[in-house]
């Protein structure tokens, strides 16, 4: 049996509706608070990248004479720390490590956790059971405790801290990924795809990923602020970044005793952590409400 196809010489122009992410993006751009947060974050990132150029002084130059100068001192706009180093420069350079240690664990956990969760969710059966039970064991620890326990035993250092934090976040992302994938898998368009003869890999690639990565991504963004606080917290305890590298959490730690003499200076690094964290949270909230469209 033949069907005559109307194969036109040139395909006529077809009306294209805006895709899902385009719609999300437009909604997000209309959210003023989220956009403000995004701007702040952009400024911080730029500051971190261009710190060596923007810094007014050498962040490592110590001087006993110039210890703990207050805010507004000549040449030292934000004062000096307990070793006489310029606070402004250290805060600027510190942004690098603080942001890096906040974002990287979540990125890695997103990649690893999504992969594990999607496999567990799509495959079901024993694969699912094994993966989820292992996740449950890690989940049985409160995050802070796990991070500190791992960091504490591995020892201080950026690499160890990153590893600990990644391990803390992977189970959380696996749970979300598995849950979302299971829901998607049970929808009829997956059945329809199977009925068309597609292999599991093809189905995951063409039908599951585009439905699943969105929600997982949104969840991951909400973890970044937690990660920042936790990462700086590890440095605060002496478990993350090692001196003399500038990092906001570490700076808070070394300036603790200075709260009696120069409270404003001592509080500055924490204010930076707070600012960054709240901006990430507002942006993540904005993305989440932008995604609450008809699915």
Partner 1 sequence: MTDAMTDTLLNADVGGPAQPLVIARDLIKHFPLKSKLPWQRGGEVRAVDGVSFEVRKGETLGVVGESGCGKSTTARLLMQLIEQNRGELIFDALGVGSAQLPMKRYRSQVQMVFQDSYSSLNPRLTIEESIAFTARVHGISASEATARARALLDRVGLEPTRFAGRYPHELSGGQRQRVNIARALVLRPRLVILDEAVSALDKSVEAQVLNLLLDLKAEFDLTYVFISHDLNVIRYLCDRVMVMYLGKVVEVGDTETLYANPSHPYTRALLASMPAMDPDHRTLVAPLAGDPPNPINPPSGCSFHPRCAMAEDVCSRRAPVLSDALAGHPVACLMANAGGGHSRQMPAAASPLAATI
Partner 2 sequence: MFYLLRRFIYAIPILLGVALLCFSLVHIAPGDPLVSVLPPDASEDLRRQLTALYGFDKPFLEQFLHWLTRALHGDLGTSIATNRPVMSEVMTAVINSVRLAAVATLIGFTFGCLFGFVAGYFRDSAADRTASFLSVFGVSMPHYWLGMVLVIVFSVFLGWLPATGAGPGGSGDWAWDWEHIQYMVLPAVTMSVIPMGIVARTIRALVAEILSNEFIVGLKARGLSELAVFRHVLKNVAPTALSVMGLQLGYLLGGSILIETVFSWPGTGFLLNSAIFQRDFPLLQGTILVLAVFFVLLNLLVDALQTLFDPRIQRN
Site pattern 12..51 for partner 2 (x: CB under 8 A): ----------------------------------------
Q: Does 145 bind partner 2 (CB under 8 A)?
A: yes
Backbone angles phi, psi at 80, to 5 degrees: -125, 160
269 three-state secondary structure: helix
Nearer to partner 2 by Cβ, of 128 and 143: the residue is 143
- The token pair at 80 is 């000096």
Q: Does 144 bind partner 2 (CB under 8 A)?
A: yes
User: Residue 159's binding partner, choosing from partner 1, partner 2, none, with beta-carbon cut-off 5 to 8 A by kind?
Assistant: none
As a whole number of angstroms, the distance between CA 28 and CA 174 comes to 26
CB of 12 to partner 1, least distance (A): 5
Count CA atoms closer than 13 A to 274's CA, side-chain side.
6
User: Residue 130's binding partner, choosing from partner 2, partner 1, none, with beta-carbon cut-off 5 to 8 A by kind?
Assistant: none
DSSP class of residue 240 equals S
- The token pair at 111 is 């990649």
As a whole number of angstroms, the distance between CA 22 and CA 18 comes to 6
User: Residue 104's binding partner, choosing from partner 1, partner 2, none, with beta-carbon cut-off 5 to 8 A by kind?
Assistant: none
H or E element at residue 290: helix 263-291
CB of 269 to partner 2, least distance (A): 8
Name the one residue in this structure whose structure tokens are 């991951």. 220
Q: Does 196 bind partner 1 (CB under 8 A)?
A: yes
Q: Does 188 bind partner 1 (CB under 8 A)?
A: yes
Question: Which residue in 10, 11, 64, 201 binds partner 1 (CB under 8 A)?
Answer: 11
Give how far Cα 275 sits from Cα of 184, 233, 281, Å.
37, 15, 10
Q: Does 207 bind partner 1 (CB under 8 A)?
A: yes
Q: Find out whether 44 and 56 touch, Cβ atoms under 8 Å.
A: no
CB of 202 to partner 2, least distance (A): 36
As a whole number of angstroms, the distance between CA 73 and CA 155 comes to 38
Q: Does 137 bind partner 2 (CB under 8 A)?
A: yes
Site pattern 196..235 for partner 2 (x: CB under 8 A): -----------------------------x---x--xx--
Listing DSSP states for 54-123 in one string gives H-SS-TT---GGGTTPPTTBTTBTT-B-TTS-BHHHHHHHHHHHHHHHHHHHHHHHHHHHHHHHHHHHHH
CB of 196 to partner 1, least distance (A): 4
Nearer to partner 2 by Cβ, of 168 and 193: the residue is 168
**Chain residues in the site for partner 1 (CB under 8 A):** 1-3, 5-7, 11-17, 19-20, 187-189, 191-198, 202, 206-207, 210-211, 294-295
**Chain residues in the site for partner 2 (CB under 8 A):** 133, 136-138, 140-145, 148-150, 152-155, 225, 229, 232-233, 236-239, 252, 256, 259-260, 263, 266-267, 269-271, 273-274, 277-278, 280-282, 285
């Amino acid at each position: 049996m033949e069907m005559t196809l109307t194969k036109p010489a040139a395909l006529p122009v077809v009306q294209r509706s805006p895709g899902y992410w385009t719609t999300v993006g437009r909604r997000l751009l209309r959210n003023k608070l989220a956009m403000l947060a995004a701007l702040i974050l952009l400024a911080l990132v730029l500051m971190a990248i261009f710190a060596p150029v923007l810094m007014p002084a050498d962040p490592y130059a110590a001087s006993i004479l110039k210890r703990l100068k207050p805010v507004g001192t000549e040449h030292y706009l934000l004062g000096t720390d307990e070793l006489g180093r310029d606070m402004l420069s250290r805060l600027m350079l510190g942004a690098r490590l603080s942001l890096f240690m906040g974002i990287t664990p979540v990125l890695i956990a997103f990649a690893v956790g999504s992969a594990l969760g999607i496999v567990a969710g799509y495959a079901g059966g024993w694969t699912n059971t094994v993966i989820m039970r292992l996740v449950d064991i890690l989940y049985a620890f409160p995050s802070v405790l796990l991070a500190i326990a791992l960091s504490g035993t591995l020892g201080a250092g950026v690499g160890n801290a990153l590893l600990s934090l990644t391990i803390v976040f992977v189970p959380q992302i696996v749970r979300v990924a598995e849950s979302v994938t299971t829901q998607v898998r049970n929808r009829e368009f997956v059945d329809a795809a199977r009925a068309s003869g597609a292999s599991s890999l093809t189905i995951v690639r063409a039908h599951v990923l585009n439905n699943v990565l969105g929600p997982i991504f949104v969840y991951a963004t909400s973890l970044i602020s937690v990660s920042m606080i936790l990462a700086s917290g590890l440095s605060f305890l002496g478990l993350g970044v090692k001196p003399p590298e500038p990092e906001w959490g570490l700076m808070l730690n070394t300036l603790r005793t200075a709260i009696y003499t120069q409270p404003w200076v001592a509080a500055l690094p924490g204010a930076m952590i707070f600012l960054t964290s709240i901006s990430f949270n507002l942006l993540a909230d904005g993305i989440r409400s932008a995604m609450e469209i008809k699915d």
